[in-house]
Chains A and B, each alone.
Chain A
C-alpha cells in the first residue's frame, strides 16, 4: 500500500525520461508472456500421441523378454494359509483408505519369469491366455493403479490358475520374494483348478500366508467366508462357441447329462433314472470312435449317435452338473451359457460368487445322496419357474461367467463391497437382470404404514393475484379439523401479498412465501415451512370442496400415504388413429391421474419433483405453464408402480385444468397441449408409468340410508 502511494505521487515525473526504455521493456515482457501462453495452450491442446505412443511402444513387449528371477533353494516359504483369516484380522484396511469414490486401488506386479536354482521354470506353462486376459482386463479397469504405494490390493503376475501346471514349493517361494508380499497381506491369487491327485484338495495347495484366494471349487471347509472369493471355473469354450439366442421355454429333453468324467457309481444311478423315465433324459458320454483332439471336446455320444457340444445343452431344460474329482466344474459355465438350468450335485461346494448371487433363482442344488430322486424333485418345479431360472441362468453367465474379464471384475467388486460395505452393490443390482430392473418397482416408501392422524396436513395454496377467491379458499380449508398449517405460495413478483390484517382469521398458522419467478413448479417446492408429511396442494379457486370432503381425503391419504389422493380424476388413452397418447377429461369409468389442483400427497414427492424429475420435464412445465400435475402423476406412478386414488363423486370444478395463472381460460389449445404433455413425458420416462383403475374412494356409509349425523363424513358430494 505504502509503496504504491509513493509510486503514484512520483511516477508522472519519471515517465518522459524513461519512455522508450519502458516501451522496449513492456514489449519484451508481453511477448514473453504471450509466447508462454501460446506454448502452454499448445501443450494443453496438442494431441498427446507423441509422448503416449512412445509409452505404448514400450508396452509392445514380448512375454519372453520378461526379466528372469532365480529363486534359491533356501528361499523362504510362506506359511500354509490361516483358515481363521477374516477381513478384520488378515487384511490391512488402512491401505485402502477412505475415499469419496469408495473404490479400491489394485496394483499388478510386472511380469517376471521365475526359475529355480538350476534354471527350470516354476511353472510348466508360464503365463496362460486366461490369466493374461484377466490381468489385462484389471489393468484396463477403474480399479487399476500403477502406483504401488497407493495400492490396496496386490495381484501377483504369477499364474496359479491351474495347480497342475505349477511346482507348489517353488511357486510359494516366488510369491514370498515379491517386493510387497509382507506375509501375503492384501494379496489376491486367482486359482480355478485347485489340488492334485489323488485327494484333490479343494483350495490351492501353494502356501500363501495371508493372501486372499479367489478360488474355483472351494468346499465349505476350505472357504474362508467373507475373506476368500468363490469364483467359477472358466470354460474356454465360451470364447470359441457362439451359441444362438434361445428363448426360455420347454425343450426337447427334460434332463441332460453331458459330463464325460462321471464316476461309475453316479452313471449307474443316472442310467437307472433313464430307464424309469425314458426319453425325458439324455445321457451323453465321450465318443469312443472319434479321433482324439479338439473335435472330441466338442462332441458327445449316446449309443453311437453323435451330438455337438455345447449346442446340445440348449435342447434341455435341466442339465446335470455333478462333481468330479474336483467340486468346481467348467461344465457349469457351458450349461449356464446355454440357458439350461444347472442341477448341481456337489456336496459342500461353495457356489461361484455365492456371497452375492442368489443361486436359488438360477439353479437347483440337490445333495449327492438324493441323485435317485432328482427326477421327482425337478418335476415339482412349476414351468413358469423353470423358464425364469433359464433366463436367470443365462444372465448369470453373461454378467459373471462369460469372460475372464467378467470373472475378474466381479471378484474385485465383491472385495470392494467388503471394504466399503456402506457403498456396496445391492442384492437387486447383483441379481436382477436388466429386464427385471427395468420393469420392477421398488417403492421408496415401501413399509406399510398408516400414519397417525394427529400431525395433520399442510395446505399449500398456489396463488397469483385472485385475492378474493384465495381468501374464500383459505376460509373453507381452515374448517378442516386436521389442517395443521396453511402455506400460501405467492407466485406474483409484480404485486405484494395483501397486508396481514386483511387476511382471513384462521386458527392455524398461516404463512406466505413469495417466489422469485412465476413458475408452476413452485407449488411442488419442498418448503421448509411444510412440517407435516401430508401436503394438500390446492388452487386458489377450489372453493367447492366441503370440509368433510377434505377431511375424508386426508383420511384416505393416511391409508395410502404413498399415493396421490385427489379429487378430480383424469385418464390417458391410446389414440389408435393417431398412434399416440391422448388426454381425457370427460366422464369416464376409469382414472389414471388426479389433478393436483386439489390433492393430498406425501411431502417426499416434493423432493422428488424438485430434484429428481427425469429429463427436461421440469423446464418444459415451467416454460409451457401447464401439465405440472401430469408430471407429478407420472413421477409418483413411475416410482411406486401404483395408481392414484380419486376420492368422492365428481363435481363441476370450474376449469380445474386452468391452474393458478389467471386469465388462462379453458381453451382448446390448453387441452391439446396436455395430450402433448403425456406423449412428451412418456418418451422421457421411456415407458408409460400411469396405471388405470376403475375405482374411487368413498366413505363407508356414503349414500347409505342411515342417519346423517351418525356418519363421519355426511357432507360428501353436495354440489
Chain B
C-alpha cells in the first residue's frame, strides 16, 4: 500500500509493473527536459534577453518540427512495447472472476473447485490493531505466487474498476462485459488496491486485497474454503 504523503509509485511486485515504472522514469525524464527548456526560454524572454523579432526563421522552424517528432517517437516506442507485452499469450495457470457490486467484490474460482466468496471491507470499528484502515477485507483474493493468473472482471450493477497498483493492474468492471487481465506476482506478499471507478456512496469503501502465497498454501486454502 502507499505510505502517507507518498508521491511515487508503490514498489513493483510484477514484471509488468517494473516495466511501467521504468517507462515512467523515461517519460518523466523527457518531460523534465522539455519543461526546463521552456522555463529557461521563458525566463530569457521575460528578462528581455531574447525576443522574437525576426522575419526569417527557417532553421528554427525546422528544428522545432523535427525535434518534437523525435521526442514523440522516443516516447511511443517503449510505450507500444509494454502495451504488447501486457497482451502476450502466457497460458495462465488459473482463471478467476472478479465481479463488482455496490459495494463489494465477488470472486469466483471455478477452474477446478466451485469456490465463490464475497469480499467486503473491514469497517474501521472492527479493524484489528496494526491493520490498514479502509484497505482490509474480510476475504482476500488468494493466488499462487510466480504463476500467471487470468482475471476476468465484470460488474453486476454499475461501473467499477479492479485495481492493484503494485501489480500494475487496473481493469474496468462493466456490466454485461467481460474484461480480461493477467497478473503474475514476482514475490509472496499482500497487495492492496481500491475500486477505481466512481460507483456510488461507498465507492471508496470497497478495497481489493490480493494475497500471493506458495502453491501448497494456495491449494490448502482452496480445499478448506470449498469443503
Co-complex (A, B): no
Report which B residues bind A (CB closer than 8 A). none
